[in-house]
Amino acid sequence: MPHDPLLEKHLADVLLAEGVLAEPKKMFGGVAFMVKGHMSVGITNKGALMVRFDPQRQVELEPWPGARPMDFTGKPMKGFLFVDADAVSTKPALTQWIRTSLDFVTSLPPKVKAASSKTAVKKKVTMKKSEAKKAVVKSKAGTRKR
């Protein structure tokens, strides 16, 4: 079951109401909302809510209705939970999970975007060309001095 576009809209609306500028980004067959470059909440390709929070709250949050460990690889990830869509079908329940995530994510320093691999490769090639030019100039200068 693909993610629910209505749940995606509700997530975006609550994030906006909380005064947060969140960037939706397609991930893992669903969509994740990035806050300051960090994944905050999202919807999986199976329709569950994904929530990121302070890993020290794991034991406290796991018993909340609909919550279960996030275990993409078979090993639960600390600081992340899946929440069944039914458990966040009301605005107060959804807002509670989003605030829990925002409490943690907004405390993190902004993530700086790394240069794309194309840009990095282009810079590397440019450096090699400039180094080659310097070598040619040096070799010409060297031949004149002899």
Contact (CB, 8 A) for 42 and 102: no
Same domain, 22 and 51: yes
Is 110 part of any domain? Answer: no
User: Is residue 65 helix, strand or coil?
Assistant: coil
Same domain, 48 and 100: yes
Please name every residue paired with 32 in a beta bridge, in sequence order, or none if there are none.
Answer: 25, 42
Place of tokens 């990035």: 34
pTM for this predicted structure: 0.74
Same domain, 100 and 121: no
Same domain, 86 and 134: no
Distance, in Å, from the CA atom of 122 to the CA atom of 134, rounded to the nearest integer, reads 18
Domain span at 137: 115-146
Q: pLDDT 10s digit of each residue in the chain, 146 long?
A: 566 788 899 999 999 999 998 999 998 789 999 999 999 999 998 889 999 999 999 999 999 999 999 987 888 999 999 999 999 999 999 999 999 999 999 999 998 876 665 555 455 445 455 555 555 444 444 544 44
Same domain, 123 and 78: no
Same domain, 88 and 26: yes
Is 96 part of any domain? Answer: yes
Q: Which residues of 89-102 are buried (b: 16+ CB within 10 A; e: fewer)?
A: eeeebbbebbebbb
Same domain, 55 and 92: yes
3-state helix, strand, coil in the chain (%, to 5): 45, 20, 35
